[in-house]
Amino acid sequence: MNPLRRAGAALALACAALAGCGPQPPVRIGFLGGVAAQGFNVSEDGRNGAQLAVEAINRAGGLRGRMLELVVRELPYEKAQSQAMAEALRAVRAEAMVGPFTSTQALAVLAQADAAGTLLVSPTANAPELGGRDDHFVRLNSALSDSAAAYAEVLVGRGQRRVAVAFDETNLAYSSPWLGALRTSLQARGGQVVGETGFVSGPELSYAAVVGSLLRRPADALLFIGRGADAARLAQQVRLQGSSLPMAAAEWAATESLTELGGQAVEGLLTAQPYDPSDRSARYQAFHRDYQARHGRAPGFGALGAYDAVTVLAEAMARAEKGESPKDAVLRHGPYQGLQHAIAIDRFGDSKRPLHFVVVRQGAFVNLP
């Protein structure tokens, strides 16, 4: 049996408990994502991965004989205001949702989710304010501070102690604490952030000006905190302005946009992903083949994370007792088997993922030696 079908069958634990003989309405799972102004983005990747998971579960019989339905709502990344997010939440009419994918959007919608009793399972959002709380938010990503500390260790280990940073101000809930954690972690290892330049992602952004500001600093390396498309354009400007400094990008940028738009400029760039792109397990390889066949490109961390988020929700809801909320079911029935590793969720809905450092080689992400 195909490993994904076998995984889907494992989620359909209660098919035999189908009540009644007529068709039943589908189980609605929401998807709350973001739309980027340019370039492929994590949310688009996530929507594709979530849809594959829903289809696999439905092929295996659904949940207690009911099919899953993915109800998608997407907003521009800059539309993170509470009102816009609340309207999207109400439009879905689901007890549980995959997303949001940015910390800023997650923080904008969390109060409404708590009030409505709607569970949010985010594959990627990991601002400090989203962890350690008894709320309706489940974080499948590791804490942001853990990621930044890991970057500091790798950079210093490569002799890059002085780092100049450009960071996206449209997702400050993520980029600001990430930069702060990097600064603290570098200092603890004898390094330092020697320059910080904020930018607002969008059509008016002057990548040349941002890079010019960074290159005036006495840096051993440059680091970008932003989307893959922006990191790619910044890297191109670094090379156009004649610098050969090594470059790195926070894990947010590790998408197809980085390699497709960056071209030769991003060769050798260091980044990280919350999954292992070289994983040869049957489960992951089946997912990779299905995604590649459907979309003509390899899946990124957004796809894998969203697939795992649907898996967590579906398995928890299949095992839920009568009257048990999705939140209580998710917290009670773990750990869950993800595509690459077991997913353990604590009482606050927080989880961890291994971080894998990669470099860009010939347009692909290759594990750091």
Per-residue pLDDT reduced to its tens digit, 231-275: 999 999 999 999 999 999 999 999 989 999 999 999 999 999 999
**pLDDT computed for residue 236 by the predictor:** 99
Examine the domain organization and report whether 94 and 220 are in the same domain.
no
Parallel, antiparallel, or unpaired: how do β-strands 221-225 and 270-273 relate?
A: unpaired
pLDDT for res 188: 98
Mean pLDDT of the chain, nearest integer: 90
- 68-86 pLDDT per residue, tens: 999 998 776 555 555 676 6
pLDDT greater than 80 at residue 9: no
Kindly report which listed range (103-117, 157-171, 278-292) carries the lowest average pLDDT score: 103-117
Residues 92 and 21 in one domain: yes
The answer to whether 110 touches 126, Cβ cutoff 8 Å, is no
Q: Write down the pLDDT at residue 11.
A: 46
Domain boundary among 227, 245, 273: 273
What does DSSP say about strands 221-225 and 162-168: parallel, antiparallel, or unpaired? Answer: parallel
Statement to judge: residues 183 and 257 lie in one domain:
yes
Do 184 and 133 fall within a single domain? no
> What band does 42 get if pLDDT is binned at 50, 70 and 90?
confident
Buried b (16+ CB within 10 A) or exposed e, 331-356: bebbebbbbbbebebeebbbbbbebb
The pLDDT value recorded for residue 346 is 97
Q: Which residue range is the domain that position 227 belongs to?
A: 144-273
Whether residue 175 is found in the same domain as residue 208: yes
Mean pLDDT within 42-56 = 94
CATH number for 198: 3.40.50.2300
Residue 213: its H or E element: helix 207-215
Output the pLDDT for position 7: 52
**For the segment 90-130, what is each residue's pLDDT rounded down to a tens digit?**
777 888 999 998 898 899 889 989 999 999 999 999 999 99
Q: Is residue 82 part of a domain?
A: yes
Same domain, 268 and 334: no
pLDDT for position 88? 73
pLDDT given at position 74: 79
Whether 226 is covered by a domain: the verdict is yes
φ/ψ region of 62 (left if φ > 0, alpha if ψ in -120 to 50, else beta) reads: left
33 and 71, same domain (yes or no)? yes
The pLDDT assigned to 1 comes to 54
Can you tell me the distance from the alpha carbon of 278 to that of 91, in angstroms, rounded to the nearest whole number?
39
State how many domains the chain has. 2
The DSSP secondary structure of 282-348, one letter per residue, reads HHHHHHHHHHHHHHSS---HHHHHHHHHHHHHHHHHHHPPTT--HHHHHHHH--EE-SSSEE---TT
Same domain, 240 and 178: yes
Are residues 256 and 333 part of one domain? no
Determine the Cα–Cα distance for residues 198 and 305; give it in Å rounded to an integer.
28
